[in-house]
Chains A and B, each alone.
Chain A
């Protein structure tokens, strides 16, 4: 906590063995995620960042409804499980009561960009000093592979059996670009975890986001991770990662969308 409040520049771990091992903040258990799913990687990255910033004692996470509903089974920090779509409202309540705690939400595309759209926009518009992690895999994984707000045109899901028809189902929602327009958004970036390089970049983004929250500079940090859903997409993990490169990233371009003002 002290290092954080003094504005540390880089993370450190005294025990080098832990650099290569499971972070102590990640509970040792079997995850319920399907093989090849990106959720588990992002879980680990968040927990690595919390460990390296030494903020386990002041971190409070909010889990969504969706595949990541059991995030609290894996993250060894105090957590609340929110109603579907309401994670950022719950996080707002926590942060307003305990402003010196490091609060983050973890939500999927249905949760954040469909049922929770109002909460998403207004939380960021208030500039709540929290970190929002947004997993966009373009499908409702937990309920069996229905269309998500971010599902691409033509994609077949269990509720778009002929492919997403824009005239019938509307357009894929680029909510991250919308969010970047809000004055309350401090840092907005879109990343991925399909390659080792992408994983490292996502971790750096998460590290930055939590540091911004610690520094309390003002505003919400928002990290979209464009991820895969091999089961929902009916692909092997490798095919799903290729699909990301060949199709998804062309519509959801990776990179920073809004960066903090230079000091």
Chain B
């Protein structure tokens, strides 16, 4: 029986990564994710992996590129400004189809911003972030347990699809302590054979493997793009994950991810106590986005409220999914402020009986 331990989210993620067979970690200190880097610096070298504190996030993500190109399990972690610095190479990694795990423990922006939690990097995370048409699989945990669980899942998805996987957390999830149970997981059982493309040295019996993202002939570059888009369609079909709370009889839905969904859950309880039939839909994957379930819910509820710690980013994807069938309102806080359950409830009451599209 696996024991329950009390850990910070950052540390649980780090421990899970090592247990999932991490071979290389390359990162740079930045608040509020530094415990992750520190934990791995302490644990990974004595458990068979290599740790480098790089000279910058740019160097770190390019070490990830090189390491991922050998087919070994590699990762980096950072927080918002650092994730911005990594964008160029993440585009390369996506184009070259290299499997790796990325972690963004988001802090408030823009600019140097604040070290308090935020969800302001949603657009950057799910819409690409760097140049060109590419997608990163984005997992959004809302507990310390999921910080661990999604790390195993992320490593597996990265290997399966040869695609970067991002865990989009926030400063609070990284810093808060909760009980966590590490599941049984033997990395050997999850090994994917990458020998067909990885650069590990060319045996005599095959052509040399080349990892490149440069295709100067337009037809070839379009072909590469079409291959990527086909893969993304497969991911959209197969990998949507979400959680629903009290939606069966609900006539109003809150949509929230990550930390905000924990607050929204409390708001659902408060609303139910007052007789309002409110439910919660929590996307666990932000790309792929749970478009279909939102579209289905829109056929039978009177409205939705999207709650985020930003100026309104995921709400755009919810509105695309709902496609004008019902009003979709938004409530957001910024600057590192976490919305309170009561203010969300107040907001629900304000829009519960409004049928017109509201753009607050």
17 residue pairs of the A-B complex, CB under 8 angstroms, read A59-B202, A60-B200, A76-B202, A77-B202, A79-B199, A79-B210, A79-B211, A80-B66, A80-B211, A86-B59, A89-B59, A90-B66, A93-B62, A93-B64, A93-B65, A93-B66, A96-B52
Q: How many residues of B contact A (CB 8 A)?
A: 38
Stretch at the interface among B68-76, B233-241, B325-333: B68-76
Known contacts A81-B211, A83-B88, A118-B55; A96/B201 CB under 8 A = no
Contact A81 B210 (CB under 8 A): yes
A238 near B: Cβ within 8 Å?
A: no
Interface digits, B37-78 against A, CB 8 Å rule (1 contact, 0 not)? Answer: 000000000000010101110111011111111101010000
A57 near B: Cβ within 8 Å?
A: yes
Q: How many residues of A contact B (CB 8 A)?
A: 35
Residues of chain A contacted by B200 (CB below 8 angstroms): 60, 78, 98, 101
A62 to B201, CA, bound (A): 12
A60 to B58, CA, bound (A): 22
Interface digits, B320-343 against A, CB 8 Å rule (1 contact, 0 not)? Answer: 000000000000000000000000
Residues of chain B contacted by A57 (CB below 8 angstroms): 201-204
B83 near A: Cβ within 8 Å?
A: no
> CB within 8 A of B89: which of A76, A86, A96, A126?
A86
Interface digits, B186-213 against A, CB 8 Å rule (1 contact, 0 not)? Answer: 0000000000000111111000111111
B162 near A: Cβ within 8 Å?
A: no
A77 to B207, CA, bound (A): 8
A173 near B: Cβ within 8 Å?
A: no
Q: Which residue of B lies closest to A91 (CB)?
A: B66
Known contacts A57-B201, A93-B24; A72/B67 CB under 8 A = no
A114 near B: Cβ within 8 Å?
A: no
Contact A86 B210 (CB under 8 A): no
Contact B55 A97 (CB under 8 A): no
Contact B58 A93 (CB under 8 A): no
Interface digits, A152-175 against B, CB 8 Å rule (1 contact, 0 not)? Answer: 000000000000000000000000
Q: Say how far B233's CB is from chain A's closest CB, in angstroms.
A: 27
Q: Say how far B26's CB is from chain A's closest CB, in angstroms.
A: 7
Contact B199 A97 (CB under 8 A): no
A91 to B64, CA, bound (A): 10
Q: Say how far B72's CB is from chain A's closest CB, in angstroms.
A: 4
Known contacts A57-B201, A60-B201, A79-B208; A96/B67 CB under 8 A = yes
Contact B201 A93 (CB under 8 A): no
Residues of chain A contacted by B26 (CB below 8 angstroms): 93
Contact A118 B67 (CB under 8 A): no
Q: Say how far A130's CB is from chain B's closest CB, in angstroms.
A: 11
> CB within 8 A of A92: which of B52, B92, B210?
B52
A86 to B90, CA, bound (A): 13
A122 near B: Cβ within 8 Å?
A: yes
A69 near B: Cβ within 8 Å?
A: yes
A182 near B: Cβ within 8 Å?
A: no
Known contacts A60-B200, A93-B65; A122/B70 CB under 8 A = no
Residues of chain B contacted by A96 (CB below 8 angstroms): 24, 50, 52, 63, 67
A76 to B72, CA, bound (A): 22
A58 to B107, CA, bound (A): 43
A119 near B: Cβ within 8 Å?
A: yes
Contact B62 A119 (CB under 8 A): yes
B23 near A: Cβ within 8 Å?
A: yes
Q: Say how far A50's CB is from chain B's closest CB, in angstroms.
A: 11
A122 to B56, CA, bound (A): 10
A199 near B: Cβ within 8 Å?
A: no
A121 to B54, CA, bound (A): 12
> CB within 8 A of B59: which of A56, A60, A79, A118?
A118
B214 near A: Cβ within 8 Å?
A: yes
Residues of chain A contacted by B88 (CB below 8 angstroms): 83
A257 near B: Cβ within 8 Å?
A: no
Contact B214 A81 (CB under 8 A): yes
Q: Which residue of A lies closest to B202 (CB)?
A: A78
Q: Which residue of A lies closest to B58 (CB)?
A: A86
Residues of chain B contacted by A91 (CB below 8 angstroms): 66
Residues of chain A contacted by B72 (CB below 8 angstroms): 97-98
Residues of chain A contacted by B89 (CB below 8 angstroms): 83, 86
Residues of chain A contacted by B58 (CB below 8 angstroms): 86, 89, 118-119
A4 near B: Cβ within 8 Å?
A: no
Q: Which residue of A lies closest to B56 (CB)?
A: A118
Residues of chain A contacted by B70 (CB below 8 angstroms): 93-94, 97-98
Contact A94 B67 (CB under 8 A): yes
Contact B201 A72 (CB under 8 A): no
A98 to B204, CA, bound (A): 19
